[in-house]
Amino acid sequence: MTPIHLTLSVPSGKLGTCASRFWGNPALPKGFGYPMYTDDGGDEYPYLFVCQINLADAAPFDTDGLLPHRGLLSFFAKIDCYLGYYDTDDCIGGSVSPEDAVRVLYFPVTDDMDEVVLLDDDDEPWNPAEMRVDFAHSVPPLSEEHMLLAPPTHRPWETWDPPFEDRLILLQVDSFAGPDFNLNFMDFGVLDFLIPPDDLRRCRFDRVRAIVLST
C-alpha cells in the first residue's frame, strides 16, 4: 500500500468551496447539518473539522486504487482537547475509539455544496484558519507525517487490538503547529483514522474509528 503524503501550506488566497484543506470550514451539501455529537450529559457539541480531501486531486497519487476517485471525503473528530480548547475526558486516546469519536463523510457529488462556518460564543471562527493541502508520494526527511493510507509506523505492537486487527489507516494526522494553533497528540504523537478494508472497497465510511499513538 503506497501512502499519499499531505503537505500543508498557508494559501495565497481563499480556497475554493470543495478544495482540499486542513482546518477552516467544511463544505457540506445545502441543508446538511453540521456534524454534532451528544455527550454523557445529553448536551450537543460540534465535532472539530479536521480536513477535507478532494478525491479527484488525490486520485493521481492513489496508485493502488483504494480510494474513490471523485467526490469529497471529510474528517471530523473529538480532538478539541489536543488543541487546548478545553480539558475533557471525552477525547480520543491510546486505545481504539468508539464509533462516535469520529465522523467521516463521503460526498460523491459536489455540485451543490456550501462552506459551513462554525462560530464560538464570541462569534469567532471555531477552527484554526484554513491550510492548503497538496499531495505527494514522498516528502523530505523529518517532514510532518500527514498521510492518506499511512503505514502503521507508530504502532508499538504487531497489530491493532481485537476485533480491529485488519484495519487500515485511512488518514494519519501528525502533531504540528501554526500561527493560530498548536495540535499536540499526547507527546507529539499521531491521530490515526482506522477503517475495515472491506468498508474502504465499498466506499463505506460510517464505521471508521480512531486512535492516538504517542511517540
Over residues 145-154, the pLDDT tens digits come to: 999 999 999 9
Instruction: Tell me what pLDDT residue 40 has.
Output: 75
* Residues 6 or more apart in contact with residue 213 via CB below 8 angstroms: 94, 154, 155, 156, 185, 189, 190, 192
Instruction: Tell me what pLDDT residue 176 has.
Output: 94
Instruction: Tell me what pLDDT residue 187 has.
Output: 85
State the total domains in the chain. Answer: 1
* Residues 6 or more apart in contact with residue 126 via CB below 8 angstroms: 46, 48, 118, 119, 120
Q: Mean pLDDT across the stretch 119-148?
A: 89
Over residues 180-197, the pLDDT tens digits come to: 899 999 889 999 999 999
Say yes or no to pLDDT of 166 above 90.
yes
Instruction: Tell me what pLDDT residue 125 has.
Output: 80
Whether residue 101 contacts residue 82, with contact meaning beta carbons closer than 8 Å, is answered with no
The per-residue pLDDT of the chain, averaged, comes to: 92
CA 181 – CA 127 distance, rounded (Å): 9
Stated as kind and residue range, the H or E segment containing 210 is: strand 209-213
- pLDDT tier at 87 (50, 70, 90 boundaries)? low
Whether residue 76 contacts residue 104, with contact meaning beta carbons closer than 8 Å, is answered with yes
Say yes or no to pLDDT of 86 above 80.
no
**Partners of 190 in beta bridges:** 174, 213
Residue span of the structural domain in which 34 resides:
4-213
- Domain harbouring 91, CATH code: 2.30.320
- pLDDT tier at 88 (50, 70, 90 boundaries)? low
- Cβ burial 40-49 (10 Å sphere, 16+ → b, else e): eeeeeeebbb
Neighbour count for residue 183 (Cβ, 10 Å): 20
Instruction: Tell me what pLDDT residue 115 has.
Output: 94
Q: Mean pLDDT across the stretch 70-84?
A: 93
* Residues 6 or more apart in contact with residue 102 via CB below 8 angstroms: 47, 75, 76, 77, 78, 92, 193, 208, 209, 210
Count Cβ atoms within 10 A of the Cβ of residue 33 and give its class: 0-12 exposed, 13-18 middle, 19 or more buried: exposed
Alpha-carbon torsion (206, 22, 31, 110), positive or negative: negative
Instruction: Tell me what pLDDT residue 186 has.
Output: 86
Q: Mean pLDDT across the stretch 68-82?
A: 95
Instruction: Tell me what pLDDT residue 84 has.
Output: 84
